[in-house]
Chain A
């Protein structure tokens, strides 16, 4: 089959690779209909993930048709159209039973996948095999482990272009608002106007927030968020974000601050050095009202320097974080999509065949041409 593979630092290319096979009784094989770029791919593409091997298939978020079913799969049949949650989780361990699928104990294979702190998190697609990852969905076919837990039937009325965002971007955004316990009347600030940030803003509005302020440095992205009368945009290139947020929240500061800024853009090149991934988080901590909640989303690796610990303690903030939501929220989001209460296809600013994968990722990396997400068709 054809698949979009990592080919070394800064290089992606479509290669012919063997078809995936059922490796466990709870697997299904999915023929991919759509897949989308994800900000979490960027460190890997840049060559900043030493565990990566050339030839690994990319693609964390995808949907498609089930074409093969393992003997222990109960919820899916051949020809089901499914969207696959980005977290590979077993559904049986203590964490999964608490609804924390992204913290699954059994989602990776091999002790090599354990982080240095010794507590494995869920597996993921398009992540290096040495980190316990599985081949990704930028391919004609993909293997889905624990399919009863991680794959979800898509209602017939929901288009592929809409449903592909139920894999991770929409669950992440909704989780941001949920972790922040956004309530009616709240003022919410969201850093990052990418897909996850925009969907966090949507979720905050849906939960009754009175005012949602989205912060980014891209006017084209910020224009996309201002369609709702309760959502406002701030471009931090032009304004003092902390002062603006104080002004727009009666001097209190936002009740909930969500950092969904992801990996900073590095136009024209794959960033070799570690970018400052902590800038938005620092601002969120400083902006948040006393006793408020700061939520950190996304899959940024590494460490953050100059963390404003004093502000955190002085204001008695709660900090909550998540890399992925896992599949628990996906059925409800698909229902929202079916009712047109959650619209996501506008986030697919670019749609391309898989063969143009390298071009698509360059656009996505640079945030060029108004790119929010590139959706590939194999």
Chain B
């Protein structure tokens, strides 16, 4: 981690909600997350390895999409993966520990780590394949009728 490049940018939504959340609310959210099987350390680094060179993963030091949209709310580091496997790309809520109250939790769920993991996976897909794989429409979106 010492060699990693930290690219923290000013705080917006996630960091702001952390400041605003009372300690009791954060503890309750942590307990709830634990019961639900979520990560008990939601602010931990989420990491993926992208099969591209660092200069392609972060051209001119800029974050790739869709990670770039979280500019100001997360910190990011990147470093070459061992064995020529590409680039290790990591992200966590700005400041590390983070539990979300109210509206922010409604948007990204109680577990920001899960939300960030989703964004990281999309970033990796975009870098490696050129697009983010879209799911089929759910059967709930398209109820069928028996013939």
Contacts and interface: CB of A to CB of B under 8 A. Distances in A.
B104 interface: no
B136 A129 contact: yes
A351 interface: no
B139 interface: yes
Contact of B51 (A92, A114, A123): A92
Interface stretch (A21-29, A162-170, A191-199, A302-310): A21-29
A134 interface: yes
Interface stretch (A101-109, A211-219, A232-240, A340-348): A101-109
A91 B147 CA distance: 38
Interface residues of A, number: 47
Contacts of A14: 146-147
Interface in B93-120: 114, 117-118
B128 A109 contact: no
Contacts of A111: 114, 117-118, 121
> Which among B49, B134, B140 has the greatest number of chain A C-beta atoms within 10 A?
B134
**What does DSSP make chain B's interface, helix, strand, loop or mixed?**
loop
A145 B136 CA distance: 10
A15 B133 CA distance: 26
Contacts of B118: 110-111
A275 B138 CA distance: 30
Contacts, number: 102
A90 B138 contact: no
A57 B133 CA distance: 19
A90 B136 contact: no
B135 A16 contact: no
B86 interface: yes
Contacts of A367: none
B65 to A, nearest CB: 16
Contact of B133 (A53, A56, A145, A355): A145
Interface string B47-78: 01101000000000000000000000000000
Given A90-B125, A111-B118, A20 B136 contact: yes
Contacts of A16: 144-147
A74 to B, nearest CB: 12
Contact of A97 (B51, B131, B144): B51
Contact of A13 (B49, B128, B146): B146
Contacts of B125: 90, 106
A114 to B, nearest CB: 8
Contacts of A93: 51, 124, 128-129
Nearest to A134: B136
21 contacts: A15-B146, A17-B144, A20-B136, A24-B131, A24-B133, A26-B130, A55-B139, A72-B131, A93-B51, A94-B49, A106-B129, A106-B133, A109-B132, A109-B135, A110-B118, A116-B37, A123-B133, A129-B139, A143-B136, A146-B129, A355-B147
